[in-house]
Amino acid sequence: MAGKVKGKIVTLARENKGEKMTVAELMHHNFDEIFIELDPVKREAMMRNAYTEDCVWIHPGGRLVGIAAVNEAASEIRKRIPEYRYKVVGDIRTMHNVGMCRWGSGLPDQPFRYTGTDVLEERDGRVAVFYTFIDSGTRRSRRRNKAWLSAF
């Protein structure tokens, strides 16, 4: 069954109860909390609640396996662009245990510096696999994409 979800819908209370999250909730959690967290210890704790131990992240810079590897890459991204935030653009589209959404990133309340699409596969209420596609965009965006990719 396909569906669409808008808005932030993940709460810490739900997370701490160990309840399974939907694909849309996992995507929002990734953008709104996990990938903007500057503290790698806090980020890893959030990831352990939301990711499978053998999770896979496939992105333009390569393929990472496991929470520790994804957390390390997220730390490198945050070191290079700590002030950037992510925002889901439009609806999160879901079908069975897979979700897809467009997103943008940049300084808060400023135009996006780069954009992309994420696809996420959920297993037992946790992120099992996610793919990040980054748009090539303008010349300025390409420079920012290279900075983002250099984190890997």
Confidence at residue 18, expressed as pLDDT on a 0 to 100 scale: 62
CA–CA gap between residue 111 and residue 60 (Å, rounded): 23
CB atoms within 10 A of CB 136: 10
- Which CATH number characterizes residue 76's domain? 3.10.450.50
Digit-by-digit pLDDT tens for the chain (152 residues) are 344 444 333 444 344 456 789 999 999 999 999 999 999 999 999 999 999 999 999 999 999 999 999 999 999 999 999 999 999 999 999 999 999 999 999 999 999 999 999 999 999 999 999 999 999 764 454 555 555 555 54
Taking CA atoms, 140 is separated from 76, 107, 114, 152, in Å, by 21, 15, 9, 20
Rg, Å, the chain Cα set: 14
- E-only strand ranges, 40-124: 51-59, 62-65, 85-95, 98-106, 114-123
- Whether the model clears a pTM of 0.85, i.e. scores above it, the answer is no
Q: Which residues contact 136 (CB under 8 A, 6 or more apart)?
A: 142, 145
Confidence at residue 29, expressed as pLDDT on a 0 to 100 scale: 95
Give residue 46's domain range: 2-149
The number of folded domains in the chain is 1
CA–CA gap between residue 11 and residue 13 (Å, rounded): 5
